[in-house]
Amino acid sequence: MTQDVAPCPPPAMPVLTPDMDFDAASHLVLQYLEAHVPMALWAVTRVENERQTFIQLNATDAYAVQRGGSVTWQDSYCYQMVSGLGPTVAPDAQSVPAYAASTFNDTFTVGAYAGSPIHEPSGSVFGVLCGVDPTRKSLDGELSQAAPLLALLGQLLSMVLAADRTRDESAYAVFEATLAAETDALTGLFNLRAWQRILAEEQERFDRFADPTVAVVLDLDLLKTVNDTQGHEAGDRYIQLAASALSGSVKDRDVVARLGGDEFAVLLRGCTEAEAVHVVDRIYAALADVGVAGSIGWAPISVLRGFPDALAQADAAMYAAKAVRREARLAGSV
């Protein structure tokens, strides 16, 4: 007499709640997928600056990928999937024309693919929950049945993201209020101490959301000359004009600080590299309008290297710009 065997219950879903941080929720989702839908790589990615960046991942040795690595967004399978040109789950990715034609294949060997978009509260694409494997998967295996699961997990991560962003905005408003007294007496901008506190806060935010952010440094070119020839009151006025031009060239959400002497710094929040080019041009134009000469350097923040590296790059770019402008002044063209 045979005895009926009860079917195994489906594995419990990860419990995601609105009070979780987005990075904690992402970690739980990747752990779950790694255990129950085996792929060589599962990742939560961020789409920004026309790049798709791995902000969290579980990967085997099959792929040499690390956190902060990125690929061109429009070359990726995920772009094809979000655009509706490929399915969310492809056990045999190379049988899908859009995936087979992707230049992503020039870098990664992909036999199977799965993905689900993660959306911002506005409905725009924040990133993609995705997985790839170098071998083709069975058409009747676990992966082929994973589309509804991935869609649900993408929706849950979108829910957590929305709640985390709401909390973050409220917390940042409170944080800014605590900085009200930490301003530079001459310009009214944030001072060096406030800037350092802001950088620590922004690094923590960037680690969660990887929102496009650009660091800008400005150094005045002729302050010493103004001080020596016109006096320190004129020098102070020169600094104030620079501060006003700088503040008027950026958005309210951006952070502007005077670090001391003739040095200023800006964080362009939610700013892509393409947008940063226009912002820097606008700053140069505003400085020229008030008769102030300055040299500017900028660099994007990256997941891989963070704020210190970007600030060092921006500083180096500023000194390079200063050298070029000095040569131009000597040649009489500036």
Q: What is the DSSP letter of 122?
A: T
pLDDT mean across residues, the chain = 92
Rounded to whole angstroms, what are the CA distances from 294 to 20, 201, 222, 319, 324?
A: 44, 28, 8, 11, 12
Rounded CA separation 22/163 (Å)? 9
Nearest residue to 302 (alpha-carbon basis) of 56, 68, 48: 68
Residue 224 has pLDDT above 50, yes or no: yes
> Which structural domains are found in the chain, ordered by start?
22-164 (3.30.450.40), 179-331 (3.30.70.270)
pTM: 0.87
The per-residue pLDDT for 1 is 45
State pLDDT tens for residues 109-137. 999 999 999 999 999 999 999 999 999 99
Section 31-47 average pLDDT? 95
Rounded CA separation 84/101 (Å)? 15
Residue 97 has pLDDT above 80, yes or no: yes
